[in-house]
Every structure is written in C-alpha cells, then in structure tokens.
Structure 1
C-alpha cells in the first residue's frame, strides 16, 4: 500500500515523523542579532503544528556576495550560524527536523537588479560560471539589470565548494539535521547545470557530466565535513524557449540519476526556465501588489526609478501570463525520476490539498513540500495532517511581489486572511496531530 502523509520517512540516516515539509521560503530575518529570534517566530509554528521537516530558506554561504533577495540570513559568519541553536532547539522541542538551504546566487545575485542595494555595496561582483548569456546581456544593455562579473576559475570553483562544506559543518554544530542546496531557481548550481549559462572548457563544463560536477564536488565537501543528509533541487528547463540551449526533460532526468549515484540522500526535481521568472512560483498576475501606492516608492528605489519599475512590472506580468498556476506542477517529472533513482524524491510546487498529497505519495514522490501557503497559515500542518483539508492560499502571489521591496513574506489578500481568521476562531490550528511527540535528535 502507498504511504499517506502521516507515515514516517527515512532520509539518509535521518527519520522524519511524517512526509510533509515546509518548503524553503524567503524569511527576511536579516543578519542582525535578532535574526535567530525572527526565524524562531517564522519557522517554529510549522514544527509545533506537526510538520515532519522544516526547510529554512536560502542562507548565502558568502553573505552579501551571492545573496539573491533582500533579507536573507547569511551563513558566512560562524557566530551567526552558532546563534541558530535557538532555532534548531525550538524545532526539535516540537518533534520536527530542520534543514538549512545553503545558497549562492551567482548571476541571480540581487544587486544586478536592486539599485539601492548596489549603491550601498558598489564593490560587489557576481561570481559567474561563464560570461552572461546573450539574453542577460541584452537586459544589461537596456538598463533593466547591471552586471559586474567575475568568471570563476577552476581553482575558485573548488574553493567555493569547500566553503559549502565548511558552512555545513557550522550548521551541524548549530543543531541542523540536514542540508538542502539551492540547486534550481537560477541559483549558481542551476547556472552550472544549464548549457545556456555554462560554456566552460574545463572539468566543470561541456557535457552533462561536466555541468553536474559542481553538484558532486559540493556534495563530497559536505560529506567530508559532516554526517548530515544532503538534499538538492534539480532544475529541468522544460519551460525554456526552444531556441535557447537548455536542460531538456531527458537530460534533467539523467542529471537526477547522476546525483543520486553521487550520494545525494534525496532529490527535488523541478520544472523551470533558465531565468528568474514566474515559472518558479506560477500563479495569477499580482496586480494588487504592484498597484499598492504605499509600496511605489520602495519599488522605484529598488528598481532604479519609475521607468525601470514600469519595465520590470510589464515583464513580470508577461511572465505570469505564460506561467499560470498548475496544481502539483512537478508531479509528472517527479514520477519519472522516482522510477529511476533509489533515494527519496520530494515533490513541491502547487500542492494545496491533503487528498492530492496522499495520491502522489508512493506514486510520484516520497514526501511533499508546501511553500507559499505557510505565509497565510503558519500552522497549516495542523489542518493537513488531521483531516481532508485544503490550504486557504489562492496562489495569487500578492505575498511575493512586495518581497522585492524588502517586505517580509506574509499573506496580503483580504479574502484569504479573513478565512484564516475564521479557522483560528474555530480552533482549527489549536492542536497538532496525535503522533507528533518529539523524535530523538541524535
């Protein structure tokens, strides 16, 4: 029989009490002394309400360098990472496990589009796999983005991989139970795998074996420094324009097979494009968020004035029309990958209903992740794990767009907020599932 959402799961040597995880989101905790407390407030409710695993959002291994969005908490400072013991203890006390998502944005680093950040940090350069591909050079030429690129040498690639291993060791000492790598969403890992970005002629370029090698070297560095399980997203660029070089379906599945053989303890295959666009989030055009007059000045400072703001808004709307919401949009890909690998496959993207999750488990995947709905319902697992519930999230992305202006992720859609408040009054989030006793943490 296929497992259900409340069945335990083994990932490497780690036991999860169930198969529901809070997917990585942008928490906007920042890098100040209050970062750990902010993360506790953001993530502990998911553990307290029954999630088996909590994924902390992207933590750049070099801090400001490679930071992909405002408010990310850098893991470049050992004292800051050590302070996260308050977070990991809080999650463990609630019976859940917690992974941190180690990251580097590469050409997606947010100073390329965030003018206010670039002005504050004019010395920032972007570490690149190769010279930016021509579509990004066009955007640079017309002033939508601005690059100051340093292509990584072979030695520099190895040095960066070693930093991932070191940061993973700091995370293990702080009580984290595993490492999740930002392997997709146009991160540096994604750029290594994508033939659009990767035109190297050393061991990290060329065919699939070369383009996947950065994933493998980082895995080996983490495994050499820790005993933690390692999970990664794997991008399959099915949404890419056909005239551009891209990771197609067959090559993406082959990449998953390769990474499983290299020792990854679980994989998260995702359909996407080579660009930071609406294929990552899929959903309605968030007109309410763009049109919020209280945010206009923030957007203009971020994007470099009213003209650039209007250009970015127009591009975002076009992208959203092309990438409308699809329930469980990665399920078909996950199903194929699961038939080819012998490690757990995690499915994320467009999952909103308990019945749908149970139907996918044992067929398309071994665990299911939910992301944006946690902005609306921080204690969502209490409903999903105790009945045939559906998240109140409307996938409208009104929570996402203001993050470009530096605001924290939270639901800003009145109808959704009203529904959550009704459920709160009825006590829908008051109790965790009966089998949520703490598991041993060692």
Structure 2
C-alpha cells in the first residue's frame, strides 16, 4: 500500500508525495501585489513539504462577472499571468508542484447574490447553461437572488471552452505544472454536468461534452500538461429535487472522463446550490457576531433583513451538514474501482492515520483545504509522523502517531467573512492557540528537500 511520503505519477508529472493543499479562496485579486499575496499564501506549504499545491479558483475570461466571491483572481490577461511565475518559481524551489484551478461562476457568480457588486455593475448578466431552474427563479422573485441570465448559444459554449484553453496555455507558460478545473461547487462546469441546471437541446445537453471540449482546447493550446477536474455527485440535495447527479451518475462521468484523457479526478459530494455541504462543520457564530464585518455583511447581502435571512439559512444548513470525517471517501473509492487514473480525495480529511488508511483504497492522493488557514506549514508535521517507517504491511494506525491531527475545528469562522472579501485566515482563538503551541514546540520545522 502506498504511503503519504511516496511519489505519484500524475499524467507525465512526478509529484514528490501524496499530500496536497486543496484549492482555497486566496482572495489575492488581480492587482500589482497579487503574485506576492499568492506567494505568501502558498509558499509555506511548499516549504513544509506538500507534494502539490492547488491555487484556488481563477476566472478564465475578462470581467466584470464570473467571480463566485470577492477578490478572486482573473487569468485572462497574459501579462498578469506571466507575473505569477514569481509563485511557480518559489514553489519549484522547494521541490513541490503547483496547480491552477480554472473557473467561471455562471449562475453562482456575485452578480447573482452580492447586492453591493450588483450596484457597482448595473445591468450585468450571468452566464447560464439554460434558463435558471424554478427554485432559483422563486428565490429571485422574493428578492433573495438577482437573476438576469444570458443563456449561451452553442457557439458561445465553444468560445467559453476556448477561454479555458487559453487560460491553461497562459498558466503553463507561467510555470504551472497542473491544470485543475473547478468542476464542482456549483460553478459553470458543474452547471453543465447537472440535470438540475442543464436543460439544453444541443450537443451540450450531455454535460460531459463540455468537459471533453475543454480537454481538447487545453491539449491543443497547452500541450500534455496534466489535466484534473472535480466531479460532483448531488447526493445531498433534498428529495423534492428529482433532477440531480446521483452517486452512480458521478461514477459514470468519472469513467468517461478518464477514458477521454483526463489525468486525475476529484469526486465530491454536494448539492445543487451553494451551501455548507462543501464545508461541513459548525455554525460560524464568531464570524457572524464579529462587528468588524457587520456593515460589510449588510451591504453585501442587500440590507439587514437579507443579512439576517442569510445567517438563519447558514444556521439551518449547519444542522444538516455537520462535520463528517472523510465524507467523500465512499464516492472516491467507487470511482477508483472503475478508472485507471489517480483519484484525489479531499473533504473532512484531518488525521495522518486516516490518510494512510485511505491511500491505495479510496484514493491515490489526499488533500485538505481549511486546515491550511490555521496551519500554513501543516505538511511538515504530517509527513514527519511517518518518517522512518518502511513496514508497508503494517497496519497504518501502528505506523503513525494517532494523535497527529490537524488543529482545525471545522468551525467555518474562516469562510463567512470571505463573502465580503476578507482574506481566508483562521479566526478561532482556541485553534490558533493550539497552532501556536505546536509552533513553539518546533512541530512545523523541516529540513526541506532538494528541488529537482
């Protein structure tokens, strides 16, 4: 069975170990300091030994529009993307690999839900795969959303796929090692795949066709760079919504994409709207009570009543989507049985022993996202836990320190402020205290590794 320290072949790329930093919202923007902000966010994980770092969702075409949250990074401008070589070079200096996640928000974009953004960009439309489904139209009618969709023609879908290819080409030129598509979490790629959103009557009625087209555009423009995508299963959707991607559907999509030429897959469970199914855990009371963000919440959500309704919805979701360890493992395991490319697992992975048990069974690589907000150098202590162990037949729980668990409490106090453009950082004192204690004990120190 593989260990966390073992290398992995991803397409034609050797990744030095099987631990990756999953995509996060860096909120670095596209200004003159964006590259420096990305270096500050990602380099600590590379220096601490992560095999692969995934820069969070970046928008493939010129704005305004398409961003799912404030201060996301656009990668439509070649000169700007070229400046991101400052990040890729620093990551490579530490022997790690770096991926860029390409995205367009479609109906999830800020122009749908962010009142302040909408006021700054009057008349802006959302890219849509089809006419919005009834639940979203009802939410628009009662004022919870602001819909003005532009349903793409067949020619416009081809042009959007070309935008993904052009963005991939620019990223490879800047030194990125892997192209990662944001194929889940309700972005535009998810909307193509989902029968909840996709009611087209052209070739793209089969949503996998869009991912095939993106694959072809990336290959034509960026060559044989490893290409990875998330794939959603809408398993958490309420039963009243019958048009959904089932567990079985998601496995079938993964099989088709692997056969078509994708180099790795990231299967994830979720729903058809943006909710806590992708950040399971506690209700973030500290974030909602923080007076620092109160005026920004009111402006973003369009008044005190709507701000209160969003908070109440967040509280209700926390009751449904409490933390569940490795919540995507069953889906990933079933995908791994039918594909011959690496399967990456993220979602609720929190402990080193868990990782070793999952590798070779449910997945080929394990990743985490929120824990990196509290422990930017987390890989150092997770990888150190397995150092000196070479008995691959031993039970994983005896090979590693069972106490080697992330300090993250999945409290989500890091996530809510991102809706108003605040950076992704841990804001929970008890978590920060534990991270500080570990830092004082030298848990994040590492001798590093030689770059290739």
TM-score where L is the length of structure 2? 0.94
Partner of 1:386: 384
Deviations 1:129-158 (A, max 9, x none): 001111111111111110111000000000
CA shift at 1:65, angstroms? 2.2
What SS class does the counterpart of residue 253 from structure 2 fall into?
A: helix
CA shift at 1:341, angstroms? 0.3
1:230 and 2:245 are equivalent in the alignment: no
Which ranges in structure 1 are unaligned for 5 or more consecutive residues?
none
- In 1, the alpha carbon distance for the partners of 2:212 and 2:424 equals 32
Superposed counterparts of 1:343-354, under 5 Å = 343-354=341-352
Which stretch of the first structure deviates more once superposed, 97-106 or 59-68? 59-68
CA shift at 1:425, angstroms? 1.0
Q: Judge conservation of contact 1:26–1:58 (CA < 8 Å) in 2.
A: yes
Partner of 2:258: 260
Structure 1 stretches of at least 4 aligned residues deviating more than 4 Å after TM superposition: none
Partner of 2:411: 396
- In 2, the alpha carbon distance for the partners of 1:242 and 1:262 equals 32
Q: Superposition RMSD on alpha carbons, in Å?
A: 0.9
Counterpart among 206, 211, 214 of residue 210 in structure 2:
214
- In 2, the alpha carbon distance for the partners of 1:288 and 1:30 equals 26
1:12 and 2:4 are equivalent in the alignment: no
- In 1, the alpha carbon distance for the partners of 2:3 and 2:415 equals 30
CA shift at 1:294, angstroms? 2.0
Q: Judge conservation of contact 1:64–1:74 (CA < 8 Å) in 2.
A: no
1:438 and 2:451 are equivalent in the alignment: yes
State how many pairs are aligned: 432
- In 2, the alpha carbon distance for the partners of 1:67 and 1:76 equals 13
Change (3 A) 1:76 1:123: farther
What SS class does the counterpart of residue 451 from structure 2 fall into?
A: coil
Partner of 2:193: 193
- In 1, the alpha carbon distance for the partners of 2:140 and 2:277 equals 22
CA shift at 1:432, angstroms? 4.7
Partner of 1:53: 52
What SS class does the counterpart of residue 349 from structure 1 fall into?
A: coil
- In 2, the alpha carbon distance for the partners of 1:45 and 1:334 equals 28
What SS class does the counterpart of residue 277 from structure 2 fall into?
A: coil
Partner of 2:396: none
Q: Judge conservation of contact 2:65–2:111 (CA < 8 Å) in 1.
A: no
- In 1, the alpha carbon distance for the partners of 2:122 and 2:27 equals 22
Partner of 2:71: 71
Deviations 1:218-237 (A, max 9, x none): 01100111121100000001
What SS class does the counterpart of residue 56 from structure 2 fall into?
A: strand
TM-score where L is the length of structure 1? 0.97
Partner of 1:424: 439
- In 1, the alpha carbon distance for the partners of 2:296 and 2:109 equals 19
What SS class does the counterpart of residue 421 from structure 1 fall into?
A: helix
- In 2, the alpha carbon distance for the partners of 1:139 and 1:146 equals 8
Counterpart among 225, 236, 239 of residue 239 in structure 1:
236
- In 2, the alpha carbon distance for the partners of 1:40 and 1:294 equals 26
Superposed counterparts of 1:88-103, under 5 Å = 88-103=88-103
- In 1, the alpha carbon distance for the partners of 2:18 and 2:375 equals 18
Which ranges in structure 2 are unaligned for 5 or more consecutive residues?
386-400
